[in-house]
Structure 1
Amino acid sequence: MSQDQTTKPANDAGPMIAQSTTDEPLATNQRSFGGKLNWTVAALCIAYTAFHIGIMNLYPLETWTYRLIHIAGGLFIGFLIYSALNLPPEGEETGQQQSAKSRPVELLLLAVALLGVGWGLAMVAFAWITHWTTGTFAPPSFVFETFGPALIVGSAAAVIACWLFGDRRADRVYFADWLLGFAAVAMIAYILFSLMPGVVPPMRMRMGTALATQADFYASLVGVLLILELTRRVAGLALVIIAGVFVAYSFLGPFLPGFLNHRGYSLERFFTYIFTDQGILGAPIAVSSTYIILFITFAAFLQASRVGDYFVNFAFAAAGRARGGPAKVAVFASGLMGMINGTSAGNVVSTGSLTIPLMKKVGYPARSAGAIEATASSGGQILPPIMGAGAFIMAEVTGVPYTEIVIAAIIPAVLYFVSVYFMVDLQAKKLGMQGLKSEELPKFAVLAKQIYLFLPIIILLYFLFAGYSVIRAGTWAMASAAVVSWLTPYKMGPKTILKALELAAKMSIQLVAVCAAAGIIVGVIALTGVGARFSTLLLGIAEQNQILALFFAMCISIILGMGMPTTAAYAVAAAVVAPGLVQLGIPVLVAHFFVFYYAVMSAITPPVALAAYAGAALAGSDPMRTSVEAFKLGLAAFIVPFMFFYSHALLMQGEWHEILHVFITALIGIYLLSSAVQGYFFGQLNNILRGVLLISALAMIQGGWLSDLIGLGVGGAVFAYQKRGLSPRTLAKGAD
């Protein structure tokens, strides 16, 4: 960020540090268009977002139809925006040269792709036209007999062409990517045709059974292929590999030992089953097509109205002068924005570009700066009321009302962010840091007069707890962001609203692909019953030791989430791990919060910590050391689930005095834990005292009076020892 950006005054408010901090940075393979192509893609994006907002609020569609259009639109736009190959930085030449020998291969692949996708699209178009003109639901037999093979061959050829010869120019769409978009249209058009009530038997009844046709199989196979390819482009290989392992498991089950063994499935049954509401059209896509896209649109409106910038500037004005001020700002501002935009790594890149340089400026080591941003951004996924997208998926999977989930999430989220705050404050005190100077910060008195810019969040909370639906509450909050903007210099007119709708579609593509890919994994779990077998295994371990079973569940949740976005990580963990915990006798809400926390924290857990790696890239630090530092800073999140396992009052379940008791003692325990990790309590701690203080913190996990007294007693003893023996000499000996 240039100097003039960071010091640009806004009337008498002082320098506005945040200037469009919520702008979405381009991914390495994301295209940037100009001219007519830009207008075309923008129009598609606006239509996509407007379609969802309109259907949710004005004209409800049949469930399968709505979700299928959601997927198809996401695939079409996704293949236009995201290239199969990384693109060079803006202004650099591509250096792409194609040998004379490879050119015929590319032309052959493109010809096969064009013929295959073109024929498939023509056949399904013929079926629809025949229906519209004659009313028949049974086109000539050759139509659907040839539709499927042509479409799968054409789609596969297009994918291979993109991998081998994709155009590296960021301002145009490779021809094969257009074909993949139209393959998605052909696939969805066939399924929608087969879902019509006049079709006998309708597709909804025959999918996953012996009645499924070859055309059903090919359409489903094309759908899975396109979803996995787009997921690879927007989220990397990790989720694709995990989905591939689960798909392979469906066919290799007869050859596997123990609880992994199953009878196996035919290709037709497997792929048609996966494309039902037990798989791809299940809970993840149900949430993606409603709550996720709604709140991403809300985030886009906050960005367009510059309300998001106000949140960050307000945080800097309030806490920027404190010791280690930028780190404390990152804790709150990144947590708030991470709650709204739903992706840990994405939020690190967007807000970290501002906070990380400022943290380094006041004295934080590079790895600490990157780790603090990663930890705060990941915490946004557990912060109510939006919690990224996790709260909505949890409500969909468990049947627990959304408002109950939000209330239950309050105390654990407070403990997490207070813990991170303690960590950065103790580190700042230990290293003798200062905050930013007053002249470098916005003026709090001026920004406080614009407190009304928090109205969209307040309105969202009001409507949620006043009994309105989540969709209605989100829509009103979105509208209020536009209205509030009229009280600022950045008034949202028709042009800005259309820009927000365009941005919302682009921001949602990643989560559409990720949720669809997660649906594949969930479908495999439902089809093979491996989740139930895993529950049996967990019960067997619990007979020996319940804590060991919980530790095992924690490890599986983290491993499943490594390299995966939060939404997919929780969806998979909820299907594999949570049922086993429920069978142990743990309440449904506690079990799902348990796996949810670890799925979220996989983003900062070595060795695969996506959020920490993103922070390391911005900070210029070693990725592994940054991820270890982030793990230490977020350690509370790895302990809090055990705390609410022992004491459900932490999830607002129980009498008020029980809730108050566990909250206060948990806060003290969190402070002791932070002091042990940072090696600073009321002065420097040597390794022995750090160990003692860690034991006192862990003693307060159970939430019982006896364990709390032990923890307080040990902590008090360390405090008394430090106060009695504190001197320059003991400080020097205790420093580490």
Structure 2
Amino acid sequence: MTGTPQTPLSATTSPADTSRQGPVLAQGVDEEPLAGNQRDFTGGLGAGLMIVLCILYTAFHIGVMNFYPLETWTYRLIHVAGGLVLGFLLFSAASISAAPAEAGRPLRVAPLEWPLLIAAAAGIGYAAAMIAFAWGAWWLTGAARPPAFVFETYGVPLTAGMVAALAGAWLFPERARGRVHWADVLLAVAAVTVLGYILFNVGALRLRAGTALAQTADFYAALVGVILILEATRRLAGLALVVIAAIFILYSFAGPYLPGFLAHRGYTPTRFFTYIYTDQGILGDTTAVSSTYIILFITFAAFLQASKVGDYFVNFAFAAAGHARGGPAKVAVFASGLMGMINGTSAGNVVATGSLTIPLMKRVGYPARSSGAIEAAASSGGQIMPPIMGAGAFIMAEVTGIPYTEIVVAAIIPSVLYFASVYFMVDLQALKLGMKGLPREELPVFAKLVRQVYLFIPVIILIYALFSGYSVIRAGTLAMVAAAVVSWLTPYRMGVAAVLRAFELAAKMSIQLVAVCACAGIIVGVIALTGVGARFSALLLALAAQNQLLALFFAMCIAIVLGMGMPTTAAYAVAAAVVAPGLISLGIPVLTAHFFVFYFAVMSAITPPVALAAYAGAALSGADPMRTSVESFKIGLAAFVVPFMFFYSQALLMQGDWLEIAHVFVTASVGIFLLAAAVQGWFFGLLNPLVRVVLLIGALAMIKGGLISDLVGLAIGAGVLLYQKKVVSPRDLAHGLD
């Protein structure tokens, strides 16, 4: 039985379906939009080949994780190389035209391209032939080492050919969306060549890479591999992470010339690049997570998309909250948080769900900048929502050694506080502006959607399996199977074709994070090689003068700056390597330190001046990007307060007895409400500027979590309430303070 073709919901939902379920608002909200430089193959041999490659890439990971484990380096090397191949074939070096390629039109090469094409093909072709010869000799004759000339001569041609291919891709990009540029094909071949060399020598490289024993041939493979990762990251995630990685690479060679704590002895290119391409760098923790947990849960998200369960989540949110005042904004809070938890990218989630929620927010009265900002704040919050946390929980578990389930439990109260704050923000703004919700006749019928509540089963199974002792991989796999089984109770049954389509989608959705994690691995490797992380920790200690609060403030600033313009996964990985050790050395518990850094790395997506999620929301709402980023910062302000809350009271991270946990949760919730009221200027009525400041002081007084500070905050909140209800006058309040 084949699956239903994945056409838009509006095209596949019959009138009978609509009358049975009520109006359907969400239609393909979780589908990945094409990037400006992403190719779109509409048919022919090229399209079929890309589909097969994507399916094989995902199937390889699912198969290895569940049925046929591979040696660690081998698995991660194939993971990175496969991501590079798909990245170069699917994404151009520059923006391309929306027009598809003309059928049958021959590939045209400009006259000035010919020298680059010949040089690239000759260099990469020769190197690929040498590596193929080595493998062929081993398979056919059992020769463990090929003739000396094979590895002695492949490196320079490979490097020169790669440089020529990069120049061709940059200078003469293919503008048709349905065609692959010759240079990108050669770059993909270069990635496979690097993989072939490292895999052939993997046993020896484990011992000699990064040492004085590293060979010239090792250097060329690592050098080309690093450059290909940087280029793939530039295409898939922009320049920000590439620039930061390049600065760290330059730092590795400039150490002898730098002053103070930045100075180090420096490294030879051979030692540096071979070290970086080991499990201390590119093949380390970040790639470990991307090759297992990230691709697993992206595949789970692809199954939800293929089975239309993702649409049901959003429709359920509309049915539950769409009629309330400011309904679409509240839907954005719930739906974007849920989808953002799974898809692992703030800006991508804004584009996916915001295309539906932002126009509806504007319709009920939210200003354009507020509409984009609310979506950005809610989508970014998905990264801190358990149990998946946009892959953040898995990286934290890998880096700290703390059990995954403990991290997930610790994330519950902070995420509830954050989303409660955003909800309070949008509700109070709706109240202040006198907004209404959407008419019920335009919303899905809640009673009918409740009958399909079984569509939440995949997520329930995931959570149950995680907390029942199953491994993360087994739990994610069970959730995928559940999504396919549940689809048979809907019009969108997943058969073989739909499962393969989900595998194809998963590969396309994952390659950005594959490149990002590999690039972040370069930075982590530099930190480990140079020891700058330890020296930075010492500097942080000196600046803070053993004052933990001051150290936390510095850490907050650094994590935000490091995360600006970077995907969340990379931002946390880098901040965890640079900032967290310093906090831990100050005596801050490991879990608290990493959660603190993680929160601010996530919130860099809505922090001006570089706020990727807010800019995506501004593009959809038509508002000014900078004003939208400022508004999103204001709406997500709780995320800048909550980390200080759980620093002062670790009961917010579920550390302690239940009575203490309940106490800090209740008082923190009241403080979050007071904060939202102060920011929006509406409590139980409009607030003048002075009263807003007073209420803000009351909110901040509840951050520390102590009994006296809580009582002060509650007293201020009660006083403002009585003042607004005309029970007391300003003179009475002043007299009470005496």
Distance 2:112 2:285 in 1: 41
The residue type paired with residue 448 of structure 1 is V
Residue 223 of structure 1 corresponds to which residue in structure 2?
225
* Contact in 2 for aligned 1:6/1:15 (Cα 8 Å): no
**Structure 1 regions of 5+ residues with no counterpart?**
197-201, 728-736
Please tell me whether residue 244 in structure 1 is matched to residue 246 in structure 2. yes
Distance 2:511 2:579 in 1: 27
Distance 2:317 2:99 in 1: 33
CA RMSD in angstroms, aligned pairs only:
1.8
Distance 1:661 1:641 in 2: 17
The residue type paired with residue 440 of structure 2 is S
Distance 1:67 1:544 in 2: 40
Give the alignment partner of residue 307 of structure 1, picking from 306, 309, 319.
Answer: 309
Residue 369 of structure 1 corresponds to which residue in structure 2?
371
Residue 677 of structure 2 corresponds to which residue in structure 1?
675
* Contact in 2 for aligned 1:7/1:440 (Cα 8 Å): no
Give the alignment partner of residue 658 of structure 2, picking from 656, 659, 664.
Answer: 656
Give the alignment partner of residue 126 of structure 2, picking from 113, 119, 122.
Answer: 119
How far apart are residue 305 of structure 1 and its match?
A: 0.2
* Contact in 2 for aligned 1:542/1:584 (Cα 8 Å): no
Give the alignment partner of residue 62 of structure 2, picking from 37, 40, 53.
Answer: 53
How far apart are residue 5 of structure 1 and its match?
A: 10
Q: Where does 1:619-630 land on structure 2 (aligned, <5 Å)?
A: 619-630=621-632
Residue 571 of structure 1 corresponds to which residue in structure 2?
573
The residue type paired with residue 31 of structure 1 is R
Distance 1:4 1:571 in 2: 42
Residue 170 of structure 1 corresponds to which residue in structure 2?
177
Distance 1:315 1:78 in 2: 35
Could you list the per-position Cα deviations for residues 594-640 of structure 1 after superposition, in whole angstroms to 9, with x for gaps in the alignment?
Answer: 00000000000000000000000000000000000000000000010
Distance 1:7 1:351 in 2: 23
Residue 733 of structure 1 corresponds to which residue in structure 2?
none
* Contact in 2 for aligned 1:423/1:675 (Cα 8 Å): yes
Residue 15 of structure 1 corresponds to which residue in structure 2?
23
How far apart are residue 292 of structure 1 and its match?
A: 0.2
Residue 561 of structure 2 corresponds to which residue in structure 1?
559
Say if 1:552 and 1:7 are closer, same or farther in 2 by CA, change over 3 A: farther
Distance 2:149 2:689 in 1: 77
Q: Where does 1:577-616 land on structure 2 (aligned, <5 Å)?
A: 577-616=579-618
Give the alignment partner of residue 411 of structure 2, picking from 401, 409, 412.
Answer: 409
Distance 2:100 2:503 in 1: 28
Distance 2:100 2:542 in 1: 60
Residue 159 of structure 2 corresponds to which residue in structure 1?
152
How far apart are residue 18 of structure 1 and its match?
A: 0.5
* Contact in 1 for aligned 2:101/2:177 (Cα 8 Å): no
Query: TM-score, normalization: structure 2?
Result: 0.95
The residue type paired with residue 507 of structure 2 is A
How far apart are residue 2 of structure 1 and its match?
A: 12
Could you list the per-position Cα deviations for residues 413-457 of structure 1 after superposition, in whole angstroms to 9, with x for gaps in the alignment?
Answer: 000000000000000000000000011000000000000000000
Please tell me whether residue 42 in structure 1 is matched to residue 51 in structure 2. yes
Residue 358 of structure 1 corresponds to which residue in structure 2?
360
* Contact in 1 for aligned 2:678/2:692 (Cα 8 Å): yes
Distance 1:726 1:5 in 2: 61
Could you list the per-position Cα deviations for residues 372-395 of structure 1 after superposition, in whole angstroms to 9, with x for gaps in the alignment?
Answer: 000000000000000001000000
How far apart are residue 726 of structure 1 and its match?
A: 10
Please tell me whether residue 469 in structure 1 is matched to residue 471 in structure 2. yes
Residue 733 of structure 2 corresponds to which residue in structure 1?
none
Please tell me whether residue 75 in structure 1 is matched to residue 84 in structure 2. yes
**Structure 2 regions of 5+ residues with no counterpart?**
1-7, 730-738
Residue 95 of structure 2 corresponds to which residue in structure 1?
86
Could you list the per-position Cα deviations for residues 628-679 of structure 1 after superposition, in whole angstroms to 9, with x for gaps in the alignment?
Answer: 0000000000010000000000000001001000000000000000000000
Q: Where does 1:278-289 land on structure 2 (aligned, <5 Å)?
A: 278-289=280-291
Give the alignment partner of residue 398 of structure 1, picking from 392, 397, 400.
Answer: 400
The residue type paired with residue 631 of structure 2 is E
Percent of residue pairs bearing the same amino acid type:
72
Distance 2:609 2:269 in 1: 35
Query: TM-score, normalization: structure 1?
Result: 0.96
Give the alignment partner of residue 267 of structure 1, picking from 251, 266, 269.
Answer: 269
Distance 2:101 2:315 in 1: 34
Please tell me whether residue 180 in structure 1 is matched to residue 187 in structure 2. yes
Q: Where does 1:138-149 land on structure 2 (aligned, <5 Å)?
A: 138-149=145-156
The residue type paired with residue 82 of structure 1 is F
How far apart are residue 546 of structure 1 and its match?
A: 2.4
Q: What SS class does the counterpart of residue 60 from structure 1 fall into?
A: coil
Distance 1:584 1:17 in 2: 51
Q: Where does 1:486-505 land on structure 2 (aligned, <5 Å)?
A: 486-505=488-507
Residue 532 of structure 2 corresponds to which residue in structure 1?
530
The residue type paired with residue 132 of structure 1 is W
The farther-off stretch of 105-114 and 647-656 is 105-114
Q: What SS class does the counterpart of residue 120 from structure 1 fall into?
A: helix
Residue 732 of structure 2 corresponds to which residue in structure 1?
none
Give the alignment partner of residue 484 of structure 1, picking from 483, 486, 489.
Answer: 486
Give the alignment partner of residue 40 of structure 2, picking from 32, 35, 42.
Answer: 32
How far apart are residue 105 of structure 1 and its match?
A: 2.7
How far apart are residue 291 of structure 1 and its match?
A: 0.3
Please tell me whether residue 290 in structure 1 is matched to residue 292 in structure 2. yes
* Contact in 2 for aligned 1:326/1:358 (Cα 8 Å): yes
The residue type paired with residue 164 of structure 2 is A
The residue type paired with residue 83 of structure 1 is S
How far apart are residue 542 of structure 1 and its match?
A: 2.7
Residue 424 of structure 1 corresponds to which residue in structure 2?
426
